[in-house]
Structure 1
Amino acid sequence: MQPKARPMMITFPERLKPARTDPVSLPQEPDLAELARMILILRRQRADYFGTALFSDPSWDILLDLRAHHGGNRTVASLFVADCAPITTGLRHLRHLHARGLVDRWRDPQDGRRRLAGLSEDGLALMDGFLLKAAALCTNQVQ
């Protein structure tokens, strides 16, 4: 019988921990856009250790990028600037996310040549749920 793996404890940055005004109040939600940005940074820094060929997850990178910039207009082209995958791969993943109802796409009303993208309501709810769970795990609030 193999011993159970113990969960890895991660120290969560102070700036993302829920703020408390007094010991009785409920904690506020962490900054989920900032957490998504931090995960993106870590994913890109991972290449410094393992190289770029070993890991590739364009769909997840797109979802993280859109959550990190939620509320702003993201051009489709800007989603693939820092990704190591080819643009055609990124577009294929974006179409798949759109077909699954996680991402909305539309023409830029200011410039009809550009396409914009953002998380759908369902996509935002799923990303926020995941990021809240990640924040809770990192602050040892979930067992």
Structure 2
Amino acid sequence: MDGVAAGDTFDVVLVATPDARPEAEEVITYAGGRLVHAVDWSYATDLGAAVIDRPVLMLAAEGIDEDRLLAALPAIRDVAERDDLNVVATFAVNQIDIVAGALIGLRVQLLCDVSFAEWVGELAVAGRMTLESGLSDRWREDDGDRLRRVNAEIARIAELLTRLATRDRDINDDGDEVGDRRQSFSIEPIAVEIDPQVIRQTIRARRMRETFLGKNLFEDPAWDMLLDLFAARLEQNRVSVSSLCIAAAVPSTTALRWISRLTEAGLLERHPDPADRRRAFLALSARAERGMRAYVAALRKAGLPIV
């Protein structure tokens, strides 16, 4: 890979309990990293002093009680945002709303109940990204087929929404599209009444395919999550991170990865819950909502169902 030698070592700052450190340190070694500092969760509020020269920030949250997480995660987020750090966080299913809710929007890999090998792999990718940070701020092509697939799917959905949102607006006298497609989400919302139950029925119909044709054949988590959030917006309901993971109908770590990518693509927004520090809600961004409304309006005009 251009710019970074295969044997280059990246630095890691670890936040973990003493009991969790041995396994975490083994992961760091296998991933090609070097532990430069370890902080117990009880002292993570002072993490800023330990972060020097942009290390990877590695969080092992399994088994950490709620109070310590709530105290530490805001400070961890502040440090990660301040220094633009790559973060790799592992946690249990029952910690999704607390941990993922606090970290979504960062350069973060959210790993829920992952295997040792997956943990090593994600840390290695984060380390390589950190080493290459002077060359690129994006996932690079050599990071693997999975990441290319994620990016391609996000691009497909964004392009679909873009085309549908602009097809009746940006047509010149010769019938050609004009304007910069990257600005296509700036259109005004289309005035069309949309019954949220129609969106919910679409989601249920998509799930029924698995009943008759088998599971794990029709996974489309990005679109499933956009549909779920669109229905929630129409219903004026809020959606937690864990609820959206369920709507994605894929393993939690996969769903969290898609949430991060959709957030980076500007389609999702994170909204902290002012009444409960443990939770953060996710919602469509304004431009994503306009795109979804335009999509539904275009389907109606063409006499087609939502799929």
Stretch of structure 1 that moved more, 117-126 or 105-114: 105-114
Percent identical residues: 33
Determine the C-alpha separation between the residues in 2 that align with 1:125 and 1:29. Answer: 11
Match of 2:240 among 66, 75, 81: 75
Conserved? CA contact 1:32–1:132, under 8 Å? no
The aligned counterpart of 2:62 is: none
| Mapped contact 1:36–1:131 kept (Cα < 8 A) | no
Within 5 Å, which residues of 2 pair with 1:112-123?
Answer: 112-123=277-288
How far apart in 2 are the matches of 1:68 and 1:105?
17
Distance 1:93 1:86 in 2: 11
Matches of 2:270 and 2:223, distance apart in 1:
17
Sort the Cα spacing of 1:45 and 1:62 in 2 relative to 1 into closer, same or farther, 3 A: same
Tell me if 1:54 matches 2:232: no
1:100 matches 2:265: yes
Distance 2:241 2:267 in 1: 15
| 1:102-135 deviation digits (Å, cap 9, x = unpaired) | 1111221111111200011011011111122223
Larger proportion of strand: 2
**Normalising to structure 2: TM-score of the pair?**
0.35
Q: Is the 8 A contact 1:52 1:84 kept in 2?
A: no
The equivalent residue for 1:129 is: 294
Other structure's SS at 1:42 match: helix
Aligned to 1:44: 207
State the aligned residue count.
113
Q: Give the root-mean-square deviation of aligned CA atoms.
A: 2.0
Which residue of the partner structure matches residue 109 of structure 1?
274
**Contact 2:228/2:247, CA 8 A, preserved across alignment:** no
Q: Deviations over 1:75-112 (max 9, x none)?
A: 11111224430111111111111111111112211111
- Cα gap change, 1:123 to 1:139, in 2 (>3 Å): closer
Per the alignment, in what secondary structure is the counterpart of residue 106 of structure 1? Answer: strand
User: Structure 1 residue aligned with 2:194, among 31, 54, 65?
Assistant: 31
Cα drift, residue 139 of structure 1 = 6.3
State how far apart, in whole Å, the 2-side matches of 1:139 and 1:55 are: 20
Structure with more relative contact order (C-alpha pairs < 8 Å, separation 6 or more) = 1
Q: Secondary structure at the match of 2:297?
A: helix
Judging by fraction of residues, say which structure has more helix: 2
- What TM-score, normalized by structure 1, do the two folds share? 0.71
Q: Tell me the alpha carbon deviations over residues 17-63 of structure 1, each in whole angstroms, 9 at most, x when there is no partner.
A: xxxxxxxxxxx834252332121011011112211221101110110
Give 5+ residue unaligned stretches, structure 2: 1-190
**Other-structure match for 1:18:** none
Is the 2:192–2:293 Cα contact (8 Å) retained in structure 1?
no
- Could you say which structure has the larger radius of gyration? 2
